[in-house]
């Protein structure tokens, strides 16, 4: 099989039609059909189901799709790397992350990148779950991933620090009577917080939670379960941070959310859960973290001020897949 055949396959998959794909590729439809047929012959299975006015991918086609995308992307990135060497700072940095990190942690580093290296565009891929992020990066489809520390990883992984979660409630919530003020200064990531609130005080409450497909749902509900709030009752499930904070501060129910996505003008009350919830974030890549990727990691360390320092451990750790 050739990269050209993979490109032809991807064009048909994206367009849903041999004729439209042929126009896009500027080739004749018979030539396109012949190359796709040759690829199907080599793979030993049809990749498309031919319909009246278009096509639909078969199960084999859907299984083959991410690998064809990764191969074509690898060739494109290889060419881009050579062009970057020839042209200096021109090019592109391909980042992958989870939505919560993209909204909060990466905002300032991205703005600094644009201010310092405007000639290098950033292509940002955002995923709702950490496992989808890890699978994407494992295919070699990004220069760098920024997200929850992977449990196992066979490439380079750099610990960036810890993301702190806070509770958001309405200003008239009875549970606020149980808040314990900080002794001394509040943690940097919880600077808007008025104190600590034992999660047990919210045991019988309905919550504003995230959709189950969102990786935060698993993390937050697992933390609640650890203090006896098993299968918390949902007043609402959402995929939006703005909706979660607005509705929680309006009285629908408490929510747990990363401190770095809480708006400064929130009308509700922010406090830290007791016990606290923190999530380690890492930068990791299939290959080495060098060049533009390493430079972006430096910007995170300098400008992602809401992240708390890592626990004592080597800054760079190589994690191996478990059998």
Mean pLDDT of 51-73: 89
CATH number at residue 151: 3.40.190.10
Residues 29 and 80 both lie in one domain: no
Which pTM value belongs to this model? 0.67
Does a structural domain hold residue 175?
Answer: yes
Tens digit of each residue's pLDDT (9 = 90 or more) over 118-175: 888 899 999 999 999 999 998 888 999 999 988 888 888 999 999 999 999 999 999 9
Residue 130, number of CB atoms within 10 A of its CB: 23
Does a structural domain hold residue 323?
Answer: no
- CB under 8 Å to 11, separation ≥6 — which residues? 21, 24, 25, 32
Residues 46 and 117 both lie in one domain: no
Residues 78 and 157 both lie in one domain: yes
44-58, 209-223, 245-259: which has the minimum mean pLDDT?
44-58
What is the domain count for the chain?
3
In whole angstroms, give the CA distance from residue 298 to residue 315.
13
Residues 51 and 181 both lie in one domain: no
Residues 170 and 271 both lie in one domain: yes
| Whether residue 322 has pLDDT greater than 50 | no
Residues 154 and 297 both lie in one domain: yes
In a 3-state reduction of DSSP, which class is residue 68? helix
Residues 51 and 20 both lie in one domain: yes
| Structural domain containing residue 56 | 3-69
Residues 170 and 261 both lie in one domain: yes
Evaluate whether 236 touches 247 at the Cβ level (below 8 Å).
yes
In whole angstroms, give the CA distance from residue 92 to residue 208.
38
Tens digit of each residue's pLDDT (9 = 90 or more) over 274-294: 999 999 999 999 888 988 899
pLDDT at 314: 36
HSE-up (13 A, CA, CB side) for residue 277? 25
Residues 170 and 274 both lie in one domain: yes
Residues 149 and 212 both lie in one domain: no
DSSP letter assigned to residue 38: H
Residues 16 and 111 both lie in one domain: no
Instruction: Show the CA angle centred on residue 194, arms to residues 192 and 195, nearest 5°.
Output: 120
Evaluate whether 96 touches 133 at the Cβ level (below 8 Å).
yes
Which residue, 172, 140, 124, is CA-closest to 75?
A: 140
Tens digit of each residue's pLDDT (9 = 90 or more) over 213-228: 899 999 999 999 999 9
Residues 271 and 284 both lie in one domain: no
CATH number at residue 34: 1.10.10.10
Helix, strand, coil in percent for the chain, rounding step 5: 45, 25, 35
At 95, give phi and psi (nearest 5°): -110, 150
Does a structural domain hold residue 146?
Answer: yes
Does a structural domain hold residue 130?
Answer: yes
Mean pLDDT of 73-102: 79
In a 3-state reduction of DSSP, which class is residue 152? coil
Mean pLDDT of 235-250: 94
- Dump strand ranges (E) for 239-291: 255-258, 269-274, 278-285
């Amino acid at each position: 099989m050739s990269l050209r055949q993979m490109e032809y396959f991807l064009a048909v998959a994206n367009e849903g039609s041999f004729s439209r794909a042929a126009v896009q590729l500027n080739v004749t439809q018979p030539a396109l059909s012949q190359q796709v047929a040759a690829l199907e012959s080599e793979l030993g299975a049809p990749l498309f189901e031919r319909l009246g006015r278009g096509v639909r991918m078969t199960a084999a086609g859907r299984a083959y799709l991410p690998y064809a995308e990764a191969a074509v992307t690898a060739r494109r990135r290889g060419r881009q790397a050579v062009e970057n060497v020839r042209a200096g700072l021109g090019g592109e940095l391909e980042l992958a992350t989870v939505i919560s990190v993209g909204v909060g942690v990466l905002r300032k580093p991205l703005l600094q990148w644009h201010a310092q290296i405007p000639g290098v565009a950033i292509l940002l891929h955002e995923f709702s779950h950490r496992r989808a992020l890890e699978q994407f990066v494992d295919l070699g489809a990004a220069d760098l991933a920024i997200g929850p520390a992977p449990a196992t990883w066979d490439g380079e992984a750099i610990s960036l620090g810890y993301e702190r979660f806070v509770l958001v409630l309405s200003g008239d919530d009875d549970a606020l009577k149980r808040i314990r003020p900080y002794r001394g200064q509040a943690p940097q990531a919880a600077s808007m917080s008025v104190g600590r609130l034992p999660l047990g005080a919210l045991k019988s409450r309905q919550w504003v939670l995230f959709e189950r497909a969102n990786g935060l749902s698993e993390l937050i509900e697992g933390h609640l379960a650890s203090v006896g709030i098993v299968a918390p009752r949902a007043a609402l499930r959402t995929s939006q941070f703005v909706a979660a904070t607005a509705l929680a501060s309006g009285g629908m129910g408490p929510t747990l959310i990363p401190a770095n996505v809480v708006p400064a003008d929130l009308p509700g009350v922010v406090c830290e859960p007791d016990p606290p919830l923190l999530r380690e974030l890492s930068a990791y890549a299939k290959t080495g973290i060098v060049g533009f990727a390493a430079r972006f990691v430096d910007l995170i360390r300098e400008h992602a001020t809401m992240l708390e320092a890592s626990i004592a451990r080597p800054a760079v750790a190589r994690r191996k897949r478990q059998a």
